[in-house]
Amino acid sequence: MRSVAVVGTSLAGLRAAQELRGRGFDGRLVMIGAEPPYDRPPLSKDFLLGKVSVEDVALAGQDDLDALAAEWHLGVRAEKLSREGVTLGDGTTIAADGYVLATGAVARTLDAARNLSGVHTLRTLDDAVALKAALAAGPSSVVVIGAGFIGAEVASACRLLGHEVTVVEAMPVPLASVLGPRMGAVCGELHAENDVRLSTGVPVAGFAGDGWVTGVRLADGRELPADLVVAGVGARPATEWLTGSGLAVDDGVLVDSGCVTANPRVVAVGDVARYRCPLRGRRVRAEHWTAATEQPGVAVANLLAGSTVTHFARHGYFWSDQYGRRLQFAGVATEDVRIAEGDVAAKRFVATYHRGDVLAGVFAIDSPRPFTRLRRAL
């Protein structure tokens, strides 16, 4: 393989490039990205709180980027992948022997909020800059739609900045699909304990306002006043540009357990990849920082080998920072949840999930050491 094009130059794309060079690939390396490489987790945490700046979230310094000896096409989108190569928005087509698809995901938006100012999403650095500026303007009431991790972190940051915050969650219990109902409820309590109102079990029906949002309407008829709304309603994989490529796409680029598509010259990594997870026996799109960091090593090894010789068989792991607390989760949630140590009421504990005698998952709040020990046991 004499040339590789990496599409998407954020976490997974950059790691793929580093893996290629680290494994001795000395051919032509082309990096194509709509944005420069930066780290997303701080955007909903320290960046909103003003603790880190735009410069601080860069994923690599110029020296590290130069060391990759790559040809960079930044600020331009890939619009097509075909037999001829990757066609960019500026009309250039780049042909390569191998392709790494790392285009990540795009924030979901709410149709009803289209044409309404004051309704934000948070995925990109531009989103974070805009949200931070809107918060600095001193909104009188903030409504966060969605009590998932991004929504909860934004609510937490807004509260720490002194804003009045309401979180609206359509499901009866926040995060139940990830952590199960019992631990999801514990996370829900964090909001109330920090003077954030949490409304669950009622979906959003629409918005009030003419030009600028003034309220959020719920399906039960209530209207919550809001002059700033943040929709944390998930992300969809950035795959539109792959239409017509012949690759299988279904809620992500479908890849095998080694991150390889049906074409061994094309691999996909990070949030855009829906890989066959050997540990779960089904396809999964991880959407977590650690997977986006670890998958490229496996994918690049397989790309250079020309077939799937190694597999991504690691338990999912993620962390979240809310209201000054560190939440960590690894593995999968089951109905059999046990408190391994600590005090749930004090929100400092480790819980384990079991399937029969087998440890299936670990969840912790503010207990990094026992969490790490139990995660190793997974």
What SS3 class is residue 308? Answer: coil
With tokens 């964090």, the residue in question is 190
CA proximity to 116, closest of 231, 233, 237 = 231
Query: Of 40 and 191, which CB lies nearer to ligand FAD in the complex structure?
Result: 40
Query: Of 191 and 288, which CB lies nearer to ligand FAD in the complex structure?
Result: 288
Query: Of 209 and 330, which CB lies nearer to ligand FAD in the complex structure?
Result: 330
Query: Of 209 and 275, which CB lies nearer to ligand FAD in the complex structure?
Result: 275
Minimum distance, C-beta of residue 8 to ligand FAD, in the bound complex (Å)? 3
Query: Of 32 and 333, which CB lies nearer to ligand FAD in the complex structure?
Result: 32
Alpha-carbon distance 318 to 148, whole Å?
A: 13
Question: Angle at Cα 180 formed by Cα 283 and Cα 147, nearest 5°?
Answer: 90
Query: Of 116 and 128, which CB lies nearer to ligand FAD in the complex structure?
Result: 128
**Alpha carbon distances (Å) from 53 to 117, 323, 325, 352:** 25, 20, 22, 37
Alpha-carbon distance 255 to 54, whole Å?
A: 34
Minimum distance, C-beta of residue 217 to ligand FAD, in the bound complex (Å)? 26
Minimum distance, C-beta of residue 208 to ligand FAD, in the bound complex (Å)? 27
Minimum distance, C-beta of residue 174 to ligand FAD, in the bound complex (Å)? 16
Contacts with ligand FAD, residue ranges (CB under 6 A): 7-13, 32-35, 40-41, 43-44, 77-78, 102-105, 122-123, 150, 238, 241, 270-271, 287-290, 292, 318-320
Read off φ and ψ for residue 214, nearest 5 degrees.
-125, -10
Q: Which helix (H) or strand (E) holds 215?
A: strand 212-218
Alpha-carbon distance 147 to 153, whole Å?
A: 9
Minimum distance, C-beta of residue 348 to ligand FAD, in the bound complex (Å)? 19
One-letter amino acid of 136? A
